[in-house]
Each structure stands twice: as structure tokens, then as C-alpha cells.
Amino acid sequence: MINNDKLVSIAMATYNGEKYLREQLDSIYNQTYKNIEVIVCDDCSVDETVTILEEYRLRFGLKYYINEKNLGYTKNFEKAAALCNGEFIAFSDQDDLWLNEKIEVLLKNIENNLLIFSDALVINSNKEIISNSRYDYISKIENVKTKYYQNFAKKNALGCTILINKELLNHALPFKKTTGHDNWLISTAIKLNSIIFIDKQLIMYRIHDRNVLGNVFKNNPATKIKNYLKKNFTFIYIPLRSIYWTLSNK
């Protein structure tokens, strides 16, 4: 029997998300853990996003707030998190799908930690599975060695897989504008030595041509430089990579 005594807030940031938003909201409201509130901050959408949010407000009591001006991805999540009432907060993008037991599993396993995060299935825009593990998917691209896997997972956590104890916000607010909210929360939890990774796939992470992180490997300038060195200057790339992993895992 599921104990629903703790309120879990879901903080969602939206921006022109009409294409996948209903599917994501349905997956949230179909959670096995029922004591939830959904807080959405919309960053000046010009499509039907707000119409959809109003629909779910009427059906489920979703709470949404429309920004007077565009805050950007990180600050929009910061606003949503600050509006949450729950003892625990989960972060949601507008275009993924959560497996039904996501909140239940994370809540059972967070224990005394301030942050827990999980693995994810990787899907395309048609919900076809690209990879059974996001970390396997990334580690193959990044050529990560097994002994660095756990640290690699921490450094590449997805915000949509995170559940935090709201107490973490006392240490993390305000979010650094130039850093993703997920990286900021993860780095804060690491400094506090209060983070745990559960090796389970609890969401379907959707990669498509319009999401913020979907094309990170293709569009990230640092990745372009890395790939250029890897292809054309292997004698430089290999020792630099070795130095990076040695320093980052001390």
C-alpha cells in the first residue's frame, strides 16, 4: 500500500510546448503516487500552451502562472520551484513521458538525501525507443569508462529525473542564470554530499528537433571543439581527455 502522506510538487516550465504537453501532463496525473500538486510557469508562449494548461486546471486543479516577460529556461524553473508547497519537488519538462511509478520510486529511495535522480529511456518524437538507458546512450557518445560511470551520471543528470527535498532550495536559490537548473541543483547537492542515483529508467526522455537539450551533442560549441580535436588531432585529444577524467574524479 502506497503511503501518500507527503505532498510532492511538480515544477514545470513551459514555452510553446503544445505538441507534447498533454501527453506529459497525462503521465504526471497517472502517477501511482497521488498526493501531488502541479505548478507550471509559462514563459510567454504564443501557441496553445496556455489553453492546454487552463484545460488541466479545470480538470485536475493544475496551477499555472504566465510570466510578464520571458525569463529563460533556468529562471523560469527557479520561479516554479519557489512557488511549490510540497516537502519534495520533482522537475518536469514539457515534452517527456513519466512512467507511472516515477514519483513513488524516487520518494521511497531518497531517504535522508536532499536529491535523488534516475536513468531514463530515450525516445524519439514518435515515442520509439532509441536507447534503454540514457546514460548508456551518452556514455557511448562520450566514450566513458565504466569506473567513471557514477560520477559521469551525476555530472549529466537530467532535471526531469530529479526529486529534491525542498530544503535543498535553501542552499540552491537563486539559480545561476548561466547554468541549467538541473546542473545547479546537482552541483549544490554534491557539495553537500547529499545526492543519490537510482539506476532505474523512470521516464521516457524525448529527443526531437525543438527541445532545449535534445541536440546538445550537435549544437554545443564545446562538443563541436571536442569532436574536431577527436577527429583531426587525436594525439592531443586523448591526453586531454585523460587529464579531464582524472581531475573530475578526484
pLDDT value at residue 80? 98
Please answer whether residues 7 and 36 qualify as being in contact, where contact means their C-beta atoms are separated by less than 8 angstroms.
Answer: yes
Average pLDDT (45-72) is 97
Please indicate, yes or no, whether residues 189 and 230 belong to a single structural domain of this protein.
no
Residue type, 125: S
Please indicate, yes or no, whether residues 128 and 241 belong to a single structural domain of this protein.
no
Domain that holds residue 234: 220-250
Please indicate, yes or no, whether residues 15 and 65 belong to a single structural domain of this protein.
yes
Highest mean pLDDT of the ranges 134-138, 139-143, 185-189: 185-189
Whole-number Å distance between alpha carbons of 15 and 156: 23
Please indicate, yes or no, whether residues 144 and 26 belong to a single structural domain of this protein.
yes
CATH of the domain at 148: 3.90.550.10
User: Which has more pLDDT, 65 or 126?
Assistant: 65
pLDDT value at residue 245? 45
Which of the 8 DSSP states describes residue 176?
A: P
Residue 125's pLDDT band (boundaries 50, 70, 90)? confident
Please indicate, yes or no, whether residues 149 and 243 belong to a single structural domain of this protein.
no
Look at the pTM and tell me if it is higher than 0.85: no
Please answer whether residues 113 and 188 qualify as being in contact, where contact means their C-beta atoms are separated by less than 8 angstroms.
Answer: no
Please indicate, yes or no, whether residues 139 and 244 belong to a single structural domain of this protein.
no
Average pLDDT (206-211) is 69
Please answer whether residues 74 and 179 qualify as being in contact, where contact means their C-beta atoms are separated by less than 8 angstroms.
Answer: yes
Q: Is residue 130 part of a domain?
A: yes
